[in-house]
Structure formats: C-alpha cells, structure tokens
Amino acid sequence: MSNKIIKFGAEWCGPCKAMKPQMEKFKELILESDVEVLDIDVDAEENADLARQYGVRSIPYTVFLKDDKVERAVTGLKTSNELYQAFQEIYQN
C-alpha cells in the first residue's frame, strides 16, 4: 500500500508553471512523511494511460492517493498551504 500525490500538468500550461514553486514548498513541508510526490507531464506519450486512468480533463490536476485509493482530486492552481491542508486532512487522520 502506498500514499502518493500526483500532479498532472504540461510545460505549456501557465497555471502549471505557477504551481511549480508551490509544489516545491509543499514537498519541503511533508519531507518527513512517507508520501511520495510525483509530477507527471500529460503530453509525454508514456503518461497518456496514467492520465486517462485518473480522469484528467483539465490541468493542473492533483490526485491524493491513500493506500492506493483516490481520496481526493482537485483541479487548478493550488498553493502550498492548500496542498498542505489537504495532506493533513487525508494522511494525518
């Protein structure tokens, strides 16, 4: 069983670019946790199936998996604080 946060985005996506530093801050906040954070480019051919699997229709799209199950999925630019709040609700309860 694994806990992961997957952020789907693309190089050309303005909100995705704006979210990059927020994700970096967020990763620092959860450094001591066992949650893996992945950044997936939806334009890469090898990621097409994964994006379909999680129903990505708009980016940035962030999926929170707890014990390999989707607990929450959010669309749009999120701040490190918003991500951390979701992290606490999902993984620390």
pLDDT digits (tens, 9 = 90+) for 52-84: 999 999 999 999 999 999 999 999 999 999 999
Catalytically annotated residue among 6, 13, 40, 51: 13
Catalytically annotated residue among 5, 6, 16, 42: 16
Q: Give the contacts of 59 (CB within 8 A, at least 6 positions apart).
A: 8, 9, 10, 13, 15, 16, 42, 75
Q: What gap in Å lies between CA 84 and CA 93, rounded to an integer?
A: 13
One-letter identity of residue 16: C
pLDDT given for residue 92 in this prediction: 87
User: What CATH number is associated with residue 11?
Assistant: 3.40.30.10
pLDDT band at residue 45 under the 50/70/90 scheme = very high
Count of domains for the chain: 1
Question: Quick one: which H or E segment has residue 38?
Answer: strand 36-41
13 is known as an active-site residue: yes
Are 78 and 22 in contact, with CB atoms under 8 Å apart?
yes
Domain of residue 44, residue span:
4-91
Q: Is the pLDDT of residue 93 over 90?
A: no
